[in-house]
Amino acid sequence: MKEGSGPLEAGERSTVSPHSSRGLNRGLSVLDLILRVVAALGTLGSAVAMGTTKETLPFFTLFVLFRAEYKDLPSFTFFVVANSVVCAYLFLSLPLSIFHIIRGAAVNSRIVLITFDTMMLAVLTSGASAAAAIVYLAHKGNSSANWFAICQQFNNFCERVSGSLIGSFVGVVLLILAIILSSMAAAHAAKKAIA
Amino acid sequence: MKEGSGPLEAGERSTVSPHSSRGLNRGLSVLDLILRVVAALGTLGSAVAMGTTKETLPFFTLFVLFRAEYKDLPSFTFFVVANSVVCAYLFLSLPLSIFHIIRGAAVNSRIVLITFDTMMLAVLTSGASAAAAIVYLAHKGNSSANWFAICQQFNNFCERVSGSLIGSFVGVVLLILAIILSSMAAAHAAKKAIA
């Protein structure tokens, strides 16, 4: 009661929260920073790989397309935009993540980070799986809808486009981990802030 | 210090945490329960709407398909599976959500819920946007890949399939809100647990 209402001294805080708890929170923050950097690089790689892929065939007929680019398919355009947005967000969130390593007791800023992380997770997942659905169609085609596989003609384009999905899905997994770690860290930080 | 090491009584806890904080946490938990129920109904509706849609045309030719079902397109099958899984998870999570209304100070169970919520958010978003990418293709077609719009023939099928996306996207938004609310509630609960 008295401790809760009165002002806290630094000595009290360190005795209440043992070193293990403090180290745990710092470890979570460092891990969060690493996850963010790797996820940012993954989404950057995906956006660049998809954005720069072009294939022009040496021949063309009236019925077969002769030039493939990401702009030809709206889902691939969305993929590039979603990856760029998430990549920019992740780089912008790095200072806040570093701030959390230094000041382990911050609670509200962690919740702000969870909020934006969750939204960005939805954006990134949605871009990645929309592109994956189209890539699958390009590889396999669909006989009942009369959509033909275009990867026979655009082999190189399809290879690179499929590869560019990897970075994005890695980003999704890392963002999920970052959200879970942030929520653990927020709960620990809240305990420390009161204690 | 003494309070932290010794067992807590109910009276102490209520005097330390003011009524506003307790009410806030209970309010968050009730809101979480409502979000979960609505999201579960949304995903259930989506799965059922997509799963039961069939259209058989009164005529058929050799080149045009004459029967459309969700099983014809892998993305739609994934959509039904993803929505069913998330719906089942949301119903299973309801008891835990009710437990949080009764016991506001639970921290670890909230973090468990955030963990699974985040994974389910990724599954649901991915199903919804893969289906959305194919629905868009069915409506608009793609001239550069020679994929024709099939919605002229399967007007009724396309209408219902497009409609079934709504419940899924509503579920995505509600899950995002549920994760944010849970992280706030976890931080508040952690403060209360120590105080």
Q: Do the chains contact at B137 and A147, CB–CB below 8 Å?
A: yes
| Chain B residue with minimum CA distance to A76 | B133
Q: Are strands B67-69 and B54-56 parallel, antiparallel or unpaired?
A: antiparallel
pLDDT band, very low/low/confident/very high, at B66 (cuts 50, 70, 90): low
Q: Which two tokens stand for residue B63?
A: 């080149």
Give B134→chain A minimum CA distance, Å. 7
A121, A125, A146 ranked by CB distance to B65: nearest: A146
Q: Domain ranges for chain B, please list them.
A: 18-57+67-194
**Buried-state track B14-38, b at ≥16 Cβ within 10 A, e below 16:** eebbeeeebebbeebbeebbebbeb
**Model ipTM?**
0.83
Q: Of A60, A119, A150, nearest to B137 (Cα)?
A: A150
On chain B, the residues whose CB falls within 8 A of the CB of A64 are 146
Note the pLDDT tens digit of each residue in A76-112.
Answer: 999 999 999 999 999 999 999 999 998 888 889 999 9
Q: Note whether A179 and B114 are within 8 A (CB).
A: yes
Note the pLDDT tens digit of each residue in A23-63.
Answer: 788 889 999 999 999 999 999 999 999 988 887 776 655 55
